[in-house]
């Protein structure tokens, strides 16, 4: 597996690089956003570790450019900020996961493994529920004949719900499978993204698919 690290703090970049190489990953380091975009566009990487604060182009700009160009690589964003609005902004820009500095390498390592594992699962055949169709390769979604445009995180959440349709999913279940975050800290973010999905997936349709089970969580079912 080849990993691109885009991090301007050379000590941090070196620390991550050495740790990942010890785990047998092939690691390349870039120290600014413009170079990071160029390298990421080469198509040779399996995952990107991207710092939020970068020279030339900041991390959010890099994210938006890569996603806008059709890049579907899993991206783990590193940020010194821990506010809900900042985290939501990173996820909306296209990050698959976020890790707040300072962090233990074991946590970064676990998140890298989870993202690579999830990326491998997203290479199969089209998945369906009711009139929903999901394309795991291109991360596209349709309800009936209407394409629904989702962010990377919204797609990840919807795909998890479709694969577990008919089952009540607690916020802890969702956090463990879609965010890799401590559940207690990020409950509000899960609710925010469920509301995003409801507006896009159910908003213009008579039959609602995403339902709240009071005191337990959420379920994907018809009616």
For residue 120, the model assigns a pLDDT of: 62
Q: What pLDDT digit, counting tens, does each position of 106-143 carry?
A: 999 988 998 888 766 555 568 889 999 998 877 889 99
- Cα separation of 36 and 40, whole Å? 6
Cβ proximity of 33 and 62 under 8 Å: yes
Within 13 Å and on the Cβ side, how many CA atoms surround 191? 13
Q: What is the chain's mean pLDDT, rounded? A: 87
Same domain (yes/no): 102, 46? yes
The pLDDT score that the predictor gives to residue 181 is: 57
User: How many separate domains does the chain show?
Assistant: 2
E strand segments, 19-96: 26-30, 47-51, 75-79
113/106 Cα distance (integer angstroms):
11
**In the 8-state DSSP scheme, what is residue 169?**
B
Boundary of a domain, candidates 101, 121, 141: 121
Q: Where are the beta strands (DSSP E) in 54-96?
A: 75-79
Q: Are residues 160 and 80 in the same domain?
A: no
Domain boundary among 75, 96, 121: 121
Q: Cis before residue 22, ω within 30 degrees of 0?
A: no
* pLDDT for residue 94: 83
Residues 6+ apart with CB under 8 A from 138: 72
Whole-angstrom CA distances from 174 to 4, 44, 108, 171 are 27, 31, 19, 5
pLDDT at 19 over 80: yes
Which of 105, 94, 125 lies closest to 12 in space, CA to CA?
A: 105
From 121, 139, 154, the end of a domain falls on 121
Mark whether 82 and 37 lie in a shared domain.
yes
Angle between helices 59-68 and 84-93 (to 10 degrees): 30
Residue 22's domain is classified under what CATH number?
3.40.50.2300
pLDDT digits over 152-199, tens only?
Answer: 788 889 999 998 999 999 988 888 778 765 555 556 888 889 999 999
Give pTM, 2 decimals: 0.66
What's the domain range around 174?
Answer: 127-220
Buried b / exposed e along 62-83 (16+ C-beta atoms within 10 A) = bbebbbeeebbbbbbbbbeeee
């Amino acid at each position: 597996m080849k990993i691109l690290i885009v991090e301007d703090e050379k000590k941090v970049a070196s620390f991550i690089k050495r740790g990942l190489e010890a785990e047998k990953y092939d690691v390349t380091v870039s120290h600014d956003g413009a170079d990071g975009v160029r390298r990421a566009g080469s198509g040779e990487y399996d995952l990107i570790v991207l710092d939020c604060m970068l020279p030339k182009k900041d991390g959010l700009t890099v994210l938006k450019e890569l996603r806008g160009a059709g890049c579907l690589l899993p991206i783990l964003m590193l940020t010194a900020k821990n506010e809900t609005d900042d985290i939501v902004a990173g996820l909306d820009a296209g990050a698959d996961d976020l890790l707040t500095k300072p962090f233990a390498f074991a946590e970064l390592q676990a998140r890298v493994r989870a993202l690579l594992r999830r990326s491998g699962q997203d290479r199969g055949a089209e998945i369906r529920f009711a009139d929903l169709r999901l394309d795991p390769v291109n991360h596209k979604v349709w309800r009936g004949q209407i394409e629904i445009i989702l962010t990377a995180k919204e797609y990840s959440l919807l795909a998890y719900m479709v694969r577990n349709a008919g089952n009540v999913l607690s916020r802890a279940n969702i956090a463990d499978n879609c965010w890799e975050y401590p559940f207690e800290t990020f409950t509000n973010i899960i609710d925010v993204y469920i509301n995003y999905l409801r507006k896009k997936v159910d908003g213009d349709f008579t039959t609602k698919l995403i339902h709240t089970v009071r005191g337990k969580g959420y379920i994907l079912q018809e009616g």
